[in-house]
Amino acid sequence: MVSYALHALPGRAQPYPTKPIRVIVPFGAGGPSDYLVRAVGVRLAESWGQQLLVDNRTGANGIVGSELAARAAPDGYTLVMATNGTHGINASLYPRLPYDTVKDFAPVTRFGLAPYLLIAHPSLPARGVKELIRLARQRPGELSWSVGGSPSQLAVELFKKSAGINLIVVPYKGNAPAITAAISGEVPLSFGNVAASVPHVKGGRLRALGVGSLQRSAVMPGIPTVAEAGLPGYVAGAWYGLLAPAATPRAIVDRLSSELVRILKMPDVQQRLRNEAYDIIADTPDQFAAAIIAEIAKWAPFVKQAGLRGE
């Protein structure tokens, strides 16, 4: 629990905020969404003088927490952390969501992107993306790729389509066991979180072939992006951002956004997040809104192609 100072909003009788702000994190404590809220919230607390209450509400791929936020009073005192999974993929994965992914939320800003790292068991005879594509074309339908959930599976589907290759997708119950399968050689390919994969790469247990962001990772600057290594424009990873209920006054949304962007541009905050392999975004509410619409459109055909359906 952290605290933050009061800033009056133009044209309003009461300053904002005048009481603690609750941020619903629709995933468990200790995960990326939880980490980012707390990391940025410390600095928000210093400037706003009110408590930031992190409320972890897990369940149904983030649907439980997202619905709670969509139904909350639109007064700026209930927010929710969103990801490309909750507000991109889920729109196609779950045809009967209890809320409208676009209309029921007011985007504030995205904090950053955690790109996927394409990793391989050292025994795989490919040292880069181009070599992997060439190998897959020589051995169609033979190479397997472990995935730990629908976001990483869709990233593989995007890779397959972009490269024009056929790979076997092997699902695991979570990203950790999917990466463990690659380390053991049970499945030669996987996607991993950059920060979590670095020790295995440095220890020689895995080989890094490419990172799924448009710029190289500060944590592994010697590893090319998948885009520069062979698939131009390829981006795959998880972004994280803050939303408010749809009818939240624009003055409050703008105040939140401008303050969060200011914090995200602080050198020490940027260094802390980059050390954890996040690419900082810090966009405007309108840019974030456009990104959500683009994300839904991007993944819808791949959800259909892969035959995925939320349970």
Question: What is the second-level CATH architecture of the domain 2-114+238-306?
Answer: 3-Layer(aba) Sandwich (3.40)
Q: CA dihedral in degrees (184, 201, 170, 25; nearest 10)? A: 120
pLDDT tens, position by position, for the chain (311 residues)?
Answer: 333 333 444 444 568 999 999 999 999 998 889 999 999 998 998 999 888 899 999 999 999 999 999 999 999 999 999 999 999 999 999 989 999 999 999 999 999 999 999 999 999 999 999 999 999 999 998 999 999 888 899 999 999 999 999 999 999 988 889 999 999 999 999 998 888 898 999 999 999 999 999 889 888 899 999 999 889 999 999 999 999 999 999 999 999 999 999 999 999 999 999 989 899 999 999 999 999 999 999 999 989 888 888 76
- Asked if residues 153 and 308 have their Cβ atoms less than 8 Å apart, the reply is yes
Model pLDDT, residue 69: 98
The Cα-based distances of 196 to 84, 221, 246 in angstroms read 20, 16, 35
Which H helix or E strand runs over 114? Answer: strand 105-120
- Region for residue 46 given its phi and psi (left: phi exceeds 0; alpha: psi -120 to 50; beta: otherwise): alpha
CA distance 217 to 107: 26
CATH 3.40.190.10 domain span(s) along the chain: 115-229
Model pLDDT, residue 6: 38
Question: What is the second-level CATH architecture of the domain 115-229?
Answer: 3-Layer(aba) Sandwich (3.40)
Model pLDDT, residue 84: 93
Model pLDDT, residue 77: 97
DSSP-derived secondary structure for 2-65: EE---BPPTT-SS-B-SS-EEEEESS-TTSHHHHHHHHHHHHHHHHH-SEEEEEE---GGGHHH
Strand, coil or helix: 204: coil
CA distance 122 to 206: 6
CA–CA–CA angle 266, 272, 275 (5° rounding):
135
Model pLDDT, residue 214: 86
10 Å CB burial of residue 151 (0-12, 13-18, 19+) is buried
Model pLDDT, residue 5: 37
Model pLDDT, residue 14: 67
Of 278, 210, 255, nearest to 39 by C-alpha is 278
* Structure confidence by residue, pLDDT tens digits, 59-76: 999 999 999 999 999 999
DSSP label of 89: I
CATH 3.40.190.150 domain span(s) along the chain: 2-114+238-306
